[in-house]
Amino acid sequence: MTKSELIERLTARFPQLGAKDADVAVKMILDEMAASLARGHRIEIRGFGSFGINYRPPRVGRNPKSGDKVLVPEKYVPHFKAGKELRERVDRIE
Amino acid sequence: MPQSESWGGSFVPDESKTNGITLTKAELADLLFDRVGLNKREAKDMVEGFFEEIRNALERGEEVKLSGFGNFQLRDKPQRPGRNPKTGEEIPITARRVVTFHASQKLKTAVEQLSDGPSA
């Protein structure tokens, strides 16, 4: 399912709303989620999962072509952990 | 792989450590109410529908690709040996299907820049 298919499904789910409402809502929800993570905040959606950021310390890596050592600076990376309901619904193996 | 336990050591910025700043469905619904002009009920239903449609797709076995944000993928994991950490007893971890999230390059870049300054 792509973003545009998600918008189509939500449009069908809420026929009483305006044609553009699902489109605007999906984009706004995703923008807000991304902006929250970029500020270093967490996202917690009960039954779906939580997003957060993890710290990666600086390290010495290597250029795979030349073999030269390069300093990879510290950084933060996004992280997702599925919630209980999502885990159970996805796992079809009893 | 103790991936699910890795939260304990994750980085929490001071701001959210003290204020518990966390985005939830309630804030997302408020945003749709304030900025899209949905009424309170519609805004709440839209946010719930958003996550429910993603769950439905994953439940059907479909991957979910949200360009600019990231992809939710499904991985089938075989059974592997496990252990009860309290008793040391060996218990097999059954085969299972799990969801993984891969942030888009855009989201990775936006989050990485947190390291440019502690006040970011």
Q: Tens digits of per-residue pLDDT, B9-47?
A: 444 444 444 345 899 999 999 999 999 989 999 999 999
Which chain A residue has the Cα nearest residue B10? A54
pTM over 0.80: yes
What secondary structure letter does DSSP report for A17? S
Report the pLDDT value the prediction gives residue A18, as an integer from 0 to 100.
84
Cβ neighbour number for residue A88 with a 10 Å cutoff: 12
Here the tokens at position B111 are: 């989050």
Which positions in chain B touch A85 (Cβ < 8 Å)?
Answer: 55
Which chain A residue has the Cα nearest residue B78? A93
Which residue do the tokens 């947190």 mark?
B114
Mean pLDDT of A68-87: 94
Chain A / chain B CB contacts < 8 angstroms: 184
Q: ipTM of the assembly?
A: 0.91
Q: Judge: B22–A30 Cβ closer than 8 Å, yes or no.
A: no
